Amino acid sequence: MFLRLVSRNTLRHKLRTALTLLGLLVAILAFGLLSTVVDAWYAGAEGASSTRLITRSSISLVFPLPITYRERLRQIDGVSTVTTSNWFGGVYVTPKNFFPQFAVDGETYFSLYPEFILDDAQYKAFMRDRKGAVVGRKLADRYGWQIGDTVPLRGTIYAGNWEFVVRGIYDGREAKTDTNQFIFHWQYLNETVKRLLPRRADTVGIYILGIDAPDRAAEISELVDAQFRNSLAETLTETEKSFQLGFVAMTEAIVVAIRIVSYLVIFIIMAVMANTMAMSARERLPEYATLKALGFQPWRVGGLVFGESVFMAMVGGALGIALTFPVAEVFGQAMGSLFPIFHVSIGTVLLQIACSVFVGLVAGVVPAVRAGNVRIADGLRAVA
């Protein structure tokens, strides 16, 4: 009987209910999208491995390190694998087609990134071709690349026109794995740079170190940096997560602003919902007085209003959550490589549910108390 009364009261003013549900839907949807944007900002850090360290120039990331450091790094206690990576920064057709491009040591790079799933035959083809490239599945789908296609890039950091042949397409082991990268041989880059820009040859952007004991990350980092202290190219070694968070810190103000806006949206819809419930309770005071005259307890009368508020909030929230997934997929595709990982997490859904419940509870408290405390005489006098 209680649920029937709640549902009938909700549908009594269909237009008002529809507009309120629409507002709730939009608010929960917007909150979910904004939370997903924040998650996408931290995706690189969240996907970082505790068994990988990043060694770069202590001055700035733009200053390269000598390739001769590689052998010295391999001899450091605790370092099991050493590979290299170099940002390329080429342009594909137009500058709008931005995606990460890395020149790597193909023999060791993929062993440090087990989350990149690459077919053995494709990996062997990549290793045989000095101009070979491995691209992520999302990137390949975006531009329609197939195995064997030639991809031209116009160099910006390394001037000239470069051509690569797609020899492999890797998939991600998990949904949060970045499959928007373009990977090719550092040897091919270095050979060309030696011929055109000899002074920039035999250098790499960063070293990626594989370690077997994550609990020794700080100790190994100190050993690495001590090895090159007072040299012409001193190093800074940190965990992969810290390295990724360094990029996020550059735009932290934007992330904070997005978080504030997301909760502001919830606050606004809570105010709208509270006003709607107050209007409904005010219109029905005579009915609540009648129910109390018939023997209904105050808590039961107030529960009708409270239940209506929570019911509307949950329905609107459920619709908003259901729409978050398809809208996020479309939004992620439209953003392209700006957000290589745009995935609605379980945490975001739980936050949406919590916000829906919170809005329903807060919006219904005052009207419910007023309805439960209405005096029978005052309510019936309103009928007359």
CA distance 113 to 116: 6
pLDDT band at 70 (very low <50, low <70, confident <90, very high): very high
Phi then psi for 103, rounded to 5 degrees? -90, 120
Per-residue model confidence (pLDDT) at position 44: 72
Average pLDDT over residues 31-53: 85
**What kind and span of H or E run contains 191?**
helix 186-196
pLDDT band at 381 (very low <50, low <70, confident <90, very high): low
Q: Which residues of 280-292 are buried (b: 16+ CB within 10 A; e: fewer)?
A: bbeebbbbbbbbb
Give 327-345 pLDDT, tens digit per residue: 988 888 777 667 777 888 8
Give 154-212 pLDDT, tens digit per residue: 998 888 899 999 999 999 988 788 899 999 999 999 998 888 888 888 999 999 999 98
CB 305 within 8 A of CB 371: yes
Residue 46 has pLDDT above 50, yes or no: yes
The residue ranking higher by pLDDT, 285 or 81, is 81
Per-residue model confidence (pLDDT) at position 384: 46
Per-residue model confidence (pLDDT) at position 67: 94
Residue 383 has pLDDT above 60, yes or no: no
Q: What tokens were used for 244?
A: 């990724």
| Cα separation values, 43 from 38, 47, 152, Å | 9, 6, 29
The pairing of beta strand 160-172 with beta strand 132-136? parallel
**What kind and span of H or E run contains 234?**
none
CA distance 182 to 140: 9
Q: What tokens were used for 37?
A: 């944007």
Average pLDDT over residues 66-82: 94
Q: What does pLDDT average to over the chain?
A: 86
Q: What tokens were used for 382?
A: 């309103």
Residue 364 has pLDDT above 90, yes or no: no
pTM for the full model? 0.77
- Write out the DSSP string of 143-155: HT--TT-EEEEEE
